[in-house]
């Protein structure tokens, strides 16, 4: 069991990050909330203080590494750093403007590297610390219309593995990855969009609170990789075992389950600037559904069918 005294969360103003700080606030730790959006941070900080937590607020964008040093300065140390900040863009690769694609990768991957540099330097000075990255099922499989996000999450998984290898000399420093499937957060509606239809989390959909609970458990008992989502393993199995079948199914399924019927014109979403007031919250308003488990089951049935035919 790792002692948790000071917890920093980058991406604290919305979604899983916001759910995570509220979960930690109930445990009596000191919190450092980090986000680009000062109004949203002030709102979250008030919620955490109402739960009895001591809170500091740092307004910073993770693409600017120098701004992150204020996180460590807040209490003089950080025991756990949770990084969940991310942006997203929908659209075919050739339809997404280059500057939008590049900023998504900069924020989601290079921003994570900036956090790692500051956090690990702090942990080395202290002799201990736990760094938890918010990953994604899309760091292990691929879907169309999300190329910049997928590229970032695959890169993040590689970065985490490299950091884990390079901190083997420090047994009290832990680098962890918590990877959920679809989660009901505002990221889908706040995303840049060049697909013509607003994105949505494909079922099965988990709550941000469920992911936050997994992050809190990981902070107390660090594990290399934590997966959240019952259908994840089936989807990953289909992606690896029968890539041809997966590739046939994933496009139509993404168009049906991953894009809503709500039309939208091209826009940059919150890729370059924070979402407007009221657009950042814990949840995105999607109902939990298990339809995706049926999709994963169809994929698995196809895999088993192919294997049976191969053996004959």
Q: Which two tokens stand for residue 141?
A: 């499989």
CA 3 vs CA 53, 78, 172, 173, 205: distances in Å: 16, 11, 11, 12, 32
Answer yes or no: is 216 within a domain: yes
67: burial class by Cβ within 10 Å (0-12, 13-18, 19+)? Answer: middle
Choose the weakest-confidence range: 207-221, 258-272, 284-298: 284-298
Instruction: Please enumerate in sequence order all residues whose Cβ is within 8 A of that of 115, keeping only pairs 6 or more positions apart, or say none.
Output: 10, 62, 68, 81, 83, 131
Mean pLDDT across 5-13 = 97
Q: Residue 26, CB half-sphere, CA atoms under 13 Å: how many?
A: 9
Q: What is the per-residue pLDDT for 261?
A: 94
Domain that holds residue 173: 6-311
Task: Please spell the DSSP secondary structure of the chain, one letter per residue.
Answer: -----EEEEETTTSHHHHHHHHHHHTTT-EEEEEES-HHHHHHHHHHHHHTT-EEEEEE--TT-GGGGHHHHHHHS--SEEEE-----EEB-TTTS-HHHHHHHHIIIIIHHHHHHHHHHHHHHHHT-EEEEEE--GGGTS--TTBHHHHHHHHHHHHHHHHHHHHTTT-TTEEEEEEEESEE--THHHHSEE-SSEEE-PPSSEE-HHHHHHHHHHHHHS--SEEEE-TTHHHHHHHHHH-HHHHHHHHHHHIIIIIEEEEE---B-TTSSSPPPTTS--S---PPP--HHHHHHHHHHHHHHHHHHHHH-
Q: What is the per-residue pLDDT for 308?
A: 47
The number of residues in the chain equals: 312
Answer yes or no: is 91 within a domain: yes
Instruction: Please enumerate in sequence order all residues whose Cβ is within 8 A of that of 287, keeping only pairs 6 or more positions apart, or say none.
Output: 205
Quick check: 205 and 270 in contact, CB under 8 A?
Answer: no
Q: Which two tokens stand for residue 260?
A: 């809503």
Q: What mean pLDDT is reported for the chain?
A: 92
At residue 4 the predicted structure's pLDDT band, cuts being 50, 70 and 90, is confident
Answer yes or no: is 50 within a domain: yes
What CATH number should be reported for the domain holding residue 306?
3.40.50.720
Answer yes or no: is 145 within a domain: yes
Q: What is the CB neighbour count within 10 angstroms for residue 262?
A: 10
Paired residues of 177 in beta bridges: 133, 225
Answer yes or no: is 1 within a domain: no
- Judged against a pLDDT cut of 80, whether residue 244 lies above it is answered with yes
Mean pLDDT across 29-38 = 96
Answer yes or no: is 134 within a domain: yes
- Judged against a pLDDT cut of 50, whether residue 14 lies above it is answered with yes
272-308 in b/e form (b: 16+ CB < 10 A) is eebbeeebbbbbbebeebeebbebbeebbebbeeeee
- Judged against a pLDDT cut of 60, whether residue 309 lies above it is answered with no
Distance CA 167, CA 157 (A): 16
Mean pLDDT across 278-306 = 58
| pTM across the whole model | 0.91
At residue 299 the predicted structure's pLDDT band, cuts being 50, 70 and 90, is very low
Answer yes or no: is 99 within a domain: yes
> 79-90: per-residue pLDDT in tens?
999 999 999 999
Answer yes or no: is 44 within a domain: yes
Number of domains forming the structure of the chain: 1
Distance CA 160, CA 181 (A): 18
């Amino acid at each position: 069991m790792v002692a948790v005294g000071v917890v920093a969360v980058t991406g604290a103003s919305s979604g899983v990050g916001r759910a995570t700080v509220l979960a930690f606030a109930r445990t009596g730790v000191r919190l450092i909330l980090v986000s680009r959006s000062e109004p949203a941070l002030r709102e979250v900080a008030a919620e955490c203080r109402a739960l009895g937590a001591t809170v500091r607020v740092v307004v910073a964008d993770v693409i600017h590494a120098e701004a992150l040093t204020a996180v460590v300065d807040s209490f003089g140390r950080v025991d756990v750093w949770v990084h969940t900040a991310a942006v997203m863009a929908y659209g075919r690769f050739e339809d997404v403007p280059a500057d939008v694609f590049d900023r998504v990768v900069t924020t989601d991957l290079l921003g994570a590297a900036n956090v790692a540099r500051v956090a690990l330097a702090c942990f080395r000075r202290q002799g201990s610390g736990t760094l938890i990255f918010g990953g994604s099922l899309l760091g292990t499989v691929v879907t169309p219309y999300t190329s910049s996000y997928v590229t970032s999450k695959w890169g993040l998984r590689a970065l985490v593995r490299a950091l884990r290898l390079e901190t083997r000399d420090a047994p009290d420093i832990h680098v962890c990855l918590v990877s959920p499937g679809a989660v009901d957060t505002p990221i889908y509606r706040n995303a840049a969009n060049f697909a013509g239809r607003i994105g949505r989390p494909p079922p099965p959909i988990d709550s941000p609170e469920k992911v936050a609970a997994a992050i809190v458990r990981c902070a107390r008992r660090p594990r290399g990789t934590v997966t959240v989502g019952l259908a994840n393993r089936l989807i990953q199995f289909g992606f690896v075992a029968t890539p041809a079948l997966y590739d046939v199914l994933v496009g139509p399924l993404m168009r049906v389950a991953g894009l809503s019927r709500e039309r939208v014109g091209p826009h940059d979403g919150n890729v370059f600037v924070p979402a407007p007031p009221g657009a950042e919250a814990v949840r995105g308003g999607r109902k939990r559904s298990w339809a995706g488990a049926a999709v994963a089951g169809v994929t698995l049935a196809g895999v088993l069918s192919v294997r049976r035919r191969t053996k004959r």
